[in-house]
Chains A and B, each alone.
Chain A
């Protein structure tokens, strides 16, 4: 059973702060890791993908992957109220069609 675990939150941060979102996964064969943002009532929007250990930066977003600890995180620097959303972690394993398994998501609230 592939499990992807996220703290449901809400995580509340002030505007301008760094928001740190975490995700753990159970399958050591996991190869691909994705962060999606989902506004209420809307569809998941891909923010970042990461495939190897370490950090990957894209604008205000940094994804961090540690396969030994089976842990992936997303940092959002200079958080804005418009970043308030649910952040979904998705993980896929090799050896098949790479269908991602989604976590429940972490609700982020950025308050002015």
Chain B
């Protein structure tokens, strides 16, 4: 069964450093998403991406965040200057399309620890 994959599974970085989280969405899916989940809290939407453009973003997704689809398979989330409060699980998700009946499938996540 096709699945979303993410690398690395765990990333430790120092405050102020840049990190890039990588995702390979399900191959026939056209919409891609990033979510984060701080330990013990809700899953929070960061950004959605379609046709090489951001289609929607949340208040969390400020100028320190960026997304890119550098090739036909990868989808990346970059955090330019990490802060302690960026420590969280980051989940990539994808869906076949956008709309009422399209379900999102999540990758296994990257645990980001900022020290």
Q: A residues engaging B (CB < 8 A)?
A: 31-32, 34, 36, 42-46, 49, 51, 88, 90, 92, 94, 96-105
Instruction: Give Cα A66 to B7, complex, Å.
Output: 39
Given A97-B48, A97-B56, A97-B98: A46 touches B43 (CB 8 Å cut-off): no
Instruction: Give Cα A44 to B33, complex, Å.
Output: 14
Q: Is the CB of B103 within 8 A of A46?
A: yes
Which of A31, A43, A97 interacts with B91 by CB under 8 Å?
A: A43
Instruction: Give Cα A57 to B48, complex, Å.
Output: 30
- Residue pairs across A and B with CB atoms within 8 Å: the count is 52
Residues in A with CB closer than 8 Å to B55 are 97
Residue of A nearest to B6 (CB): A43
Which of A44, A90, A94 interacts with B100 by CB under 8 Å?
A: A94
Residues in A with CB closer than 8 Å to B99 are 98
Residues in B with CB closer than 8 Å to A32 are 100-101
Q: Is the CB of B104 within 8 A of A104?
A: no
Residues in B with CB closer than 8 Å to A98 are 98-100, 102
Residues in A with CB closer than 8 Å to B98 are 97-98
Binds A, one of B12-20, B76-84, B105-113: B105-113
Instruction: Give Cα A51 to B104, complex, Å.
Output: 15
Residues in A with CB closer than 8 Å to B33 are 99
Residues in B with CB closer than 8 Å to A88 are 43
Residues in A with CB closer than 8 Å to B91 are 43-44
Residues in B with CB closer than 8 Å to A101 are 45
